[in-house]
Amino acid sequence: MGEFELIGRYFRSTALEGAGPTEQVTLGIGDDAAMIAPAAEKQLVVSTDSLVLGTHFPPDYVPSNIAYRALAAAVSDLAAMGARPLGFTLALTLPEVDEIWLQSFAEGLAEAARDHRISLIGGDTTKGPLNINVTVFGEVRPRNVVRRSDAQPGDLLCVGGPLGDGGGGLAVALAAALPADLDDAARDYLLQRFWRPMAQCDLGLELAGVASAGLDISDGLLADARHLAEASGLALHIRVADLPCSQALRFWPAEQRKEWMLGAGDDYVLLFTLPVASIRSLEIWKSQGFDVTVVGEAVVGRGIWLDEGQGLEEVARPAGYQHFQGNNNV
């Protein structure tokens, strides 16, 4: 079976094309290229992410989960910019044509596309070791875009949801040593958070034009906070006691929770700075159901500083900082 039939059979049939706004996608799958146009006064936001099977995935993964996670992780970068999702391309490298695998993969992809209101606009299939590349497109008014570089001293540092579920979810997915009393609800919640993360697009749209800076937590709070601090040229203070975590994570000891909240990554919640003048927005967002929490502030200086109740302590810049590792982007 061929490249075009693959795309046709598995991806078109799942109504992936029409999952997102259709006005902006003016030419979809089937030609040499797709056409896409942001709405008037908006610009296109673009991000690309590859997912490679490695140590981060249990060997008995379900293809639909991999697909969901790959798309959600990519869309999370749009959310971080305050952009509305429009479309995505999929470049799929597969060792062989396995129709059962493809059917499952396409289902998970279609589900993620519907959940994130984004359309498949083009693709490419190649034979080789499994590699899933997703490039996402969104739109934003240029003046509202949320960059990493515009935080100001005095801004509040906030997160858009619970931290550490990426770490806890991985532990459950890998069936690592789990707490003896871990209940099914917690297990299911963490598996869902790991395999079916939901990019915070709605929150991102709220942040557009309001937050001074932001990104999504994919590398872990400390690493991503450092990205923001360095891009904005300031220091960030983080109050560990204020870091939000899910009920499910409370089955683990406090030290493990803290490790995951600070460093595990794959949480796909937004980390952003808010001018104090916009503090009222926080209450509005909470009343709208967004799970936003103030966890620290931006100050003049450099580095990431943790407040664990006994004064501030600077977090050492890891020697292998941003090390070239298994799955930077999933």
Which residues, 169 to 228, sit near a copy of itself by CB under 8 A?
215-216, 227
x/- contact string, 65-104, with a copy of itself (CB under 8 A)? ------------xx-xx-x---x-xxxxx--xx-------
Binding test (CB under 8 A) with a copy of itself, winner from 9, 37, 154, 301: 37
- Counting contacts by CB under 8 A, is residue 247 touching a copy of itself? no
- Counting contacts by CB under 8 A, is residue 269 touching a copy of itself? no
Residue 134 parent element (H or E): strand 131-140
- Counting contacts by CB under 8 A, is residue 53 touching a copy of itself? yes
Of 47, 57, 90, 3, which Cα lies nearest the Cα of 204? 47
Asked if 25 and 121 touch (Cβ cutoff 8 Å), the reply is yes
Burial class from Cβ neighbours inside 10 Å (0-12, 13-18, 19+) for residue 27 reads middle
- Counting contacts by CB under 8 A, is residue 137 touching a copy of itself? yes
Binding test (CB under 8 A) with a copy of itself, winner from 106, 109, 121, 198: 121
CA distance 72 to 231: 25
Binding test (CB under 8 A) with a copy of itself, winner from 104, 119, 125, 232: 125
* Cβ-based nearer residue to a copy of itself, 140 or 172: 140
Residue 35 Cβ vs a copy of itself, minimum distance, rounded to whole Å: 5
Asked if 33 and 77 touch (Cβ cutoff 8 Å), the reply is no
The one-letter code for the residue type at 207 is L
Binding test (CB under 8 A) with a copy of itself, winner from 2, 59, 309, 311: 2
Binding test (CB under 8 A) with a copy of itself, winner from 16, 19, 29, 34: 34
| Structure tokens that stand for 305 in this block | 């500083």
Residue 193 Cβ vs a copy of itself, minimum distance, rounded to whole Å: 20
- Counting contacts by CB under 8 A, is residue 33 touching a copy of itself? yes
| Structure tokens that stand for 219 in this block | 């590398």
Asked if 158 and 293 touch (Cβ cutoff 8 Å), the reply is yes
| Structure tokens that stand for 210 in this block | 């309001």
CA distance 78 to 86: 10
| Structure tokens that stand for 310 in this block | 């006994």
* Cβ-based nearer residue to a copy of itself, 89 or 293: 89
Residue 251 Cβ vs a copy of itself, minimum distance, rounded to whole Å: 31
